[in-house]
Structure 1
Amino acid sequence: MFQLAANAQQTYQLDIKKSKILWDARKTMGGHYGYLLFNSGSLSYSAGGEPMGAAFSLDMNSMKSTDHNPDGNKKVDDRLKTDGFFATVKYPSAIINIKKIMRVGQSTTFKVAGELTMKGITNPIEFTAIIKKKGNIVNAAAETKIDRVKWHIDFQPKPKSWDFIAALTDKIITDEIGVSLNLVFTK
């Protein structure tokens, strides 16, 4: 009986060419926004037809800012890859593991809970998503925020109390990074 239930579960693969993750770190004093690409992803459905879990790998080296001209964006992109920000040489991927997806009433709105691992640091994440399944295609959209400080994205590779300029710059940057997901999965 257990084997029949396991066989009825379905897994949908993320279409990495159609799926987007947008980030926005703007604040009153400026900031940046752009996008990030996926390495891979999948979404599991239960035998009863409910989404139950997901896993994603993000390509941190694909992070691009889009708020300046190409030369300005390249400078921002290069800085984002440094140790004080995302340390992409040491941590080329980030991982999202979604452990719980619960429908809100009879709607297409779901509460989503899991973990995000960036720079080798894992923290819980929670957000609300709209998930719609039609035939062999699943579309999911969500907007949330993450606190960059929890993943040591703090401008300084090794914070120093005496580095006044770096500490001041860190305070000018917003702690919350807005994240928008627009995902397409296929069977």
Structure 2
Amino acid sequence: MRKVLSAALIALAATIACNKLKSEERIYKVNTSSSVAEWKGSAPDHFHVGSFKIEGSLLTRSDGDIQAGTFVIPISSIDNFDLPAEVKPQLLNHLKSADFFNIALHPNAEFRIEKVETLDGSVKGAVAGANKLVTGNLSLVGQTHPITFPAKIAYKGDSLQVEATLKIDRTKWGMTKYSNADSGLYIIPDADIHVKMQAAKV
């Protein structure tokens, strides 16, 4: 985990190097113990829920707006909330397999912020109080594609809190197993994601 976090910090440092960090800019490090990306995967007649850990850091400007950020999600941190203990490993091992995240070849997912804009008005499905529109590149199982989603970003003292809900179509990243509605086992391509992240000023 330390190696993964170090890589995220190095990536952020590379971004900052292009524009020397000013005294009024701040780096916030994600609190891994209190930050999660909760997920919900559904079939037509049932669903499962769980979470991933989040690691990484953000860079803010003097006005408090986020200008950069790199986040790593260790696939090995995947958890399930709804199954009994004796059954849970079957689902988690399947999700880690080549049918889904293929952890043997792609142990981490990564999200890099490209742009954060002020959100004017409401967006369907957004968390209550969403005030920003976040755009970035999401890397999963060896593929990278842009995503945009509304988020609530707030500051409390020396901490920064981010909350967002979004949908990810796994087939866009090549995770096409069980995506045929006419097959015996069909899993709806869209997964619901609920990000709850806290970061502290370094």
Using the size of structure 1 for normalisation, the TM-score is 0.85
Question: CA separation in 2, counterparts of 1:29 and 1:4?
Answer: 53
Residues 1:35 and 2:51 aligned together: yes
Q: Give the match's secondary structure for 1:113.
A: strand
3-state SS of paired residue (1:168):
coil
1:112 aligned to 117, 134, 138, which one?
134
Structure 2 CA distance, aligned partners of 1:69 and 1:5?
Answer: 49
| Larger-Rg structure | 1
Measured after TM superposition, the shift of residue 155 of structure 1 is 2.5
Q: How far apart are residue 108 of structure 1 and its match?
A: 6.0
The CA distance in 1 between the partners of 2:34 and 2:72, in whole Å, is 15
Spell out, residue by residue over 1:32-88, the C-alpha distance to the aligned partner (whole angstroms, 9 max, x if none): 2111112x2112111222122211011101112222101221100010011111000
In 2, the alpha carbon distance for the partners of 1:80 and 1:104 equals 34
Q: 1:135 to 1:108 in 2, by over 3 A?
A: farther
Superposition misfits of 4+ residues, deviation over 6 angstroms: none
Q: Cα 1:105–1:155, aligned 2, differ >3 Å: closer, same or farther? A: closer
Query: Percent identity over the alignment?
Result: 24
Does the C-alpha gap of structure 1 residues 169 and 140 become closer, same or farther in structure 2, counting only changes over 3 Å?
A: farther
Is the CA contact 2:26–2:61 (under 8 Å) kept in the aligned structure 1? yes
Q: Residues 21 and 5 of structure 1: is their aligned pair in 2 closer, same or farther, counting only changes over 3 Å?
A: closer
Match of 1:153 in 2: 175
Distance 1:108 1:24, change over 3 A: closer
Deviation at 1:178, TM superposition (A): 0.4
Q: How does 1:1-187 map to 2 (within 5 A)?
A: 6-38=22-54, 40-105=55-120, 109-155=131-177, 168-169=183-184, 172-187=186-201
**Which has a greater percent of strand?**
1
Structure 1 alignment gaps of length 5 or more = none
Say whether the 8 Å CA contact 2:160–2:200 is kept in structure 1.
yes
Structure 2: 5+ residue stretches without partners: 1-18, 122-128
Q: Is the 8 A contact 1:5 1:47 kept in 2?
A: no
Instruction: Tell me how far apart the structure 1 counterparts of residues 101 and 176 of structure 2 sit (CA, whole Å).
Output: 9
Which amino acid letter does the alignment assign opposite residue 138 of structure 2?
L
Q: CA deviation at 1:168?
A: 1.1
Number of equivalent positions:
177
User: TM-score with structure 2 length normalisation?
Assistant: 0.79
Deviation at 1:6, TM superposition (A): 2.5
RMSD over aligned Cα atoms: 2.5
1:154-183 CA distances to partner (integer Å, 9 max, x unpaired)?
A: 227xx9xxxx9x97146x101100000000
Cα distance in 2, alignment partners of residues 152 and 167 from structure 1: 19
Please give the per-residue CA displacement for 1:73-119, whole angstroms capped at 9, x wherever unaligned: 11000100111110001111111001111122598610000011011
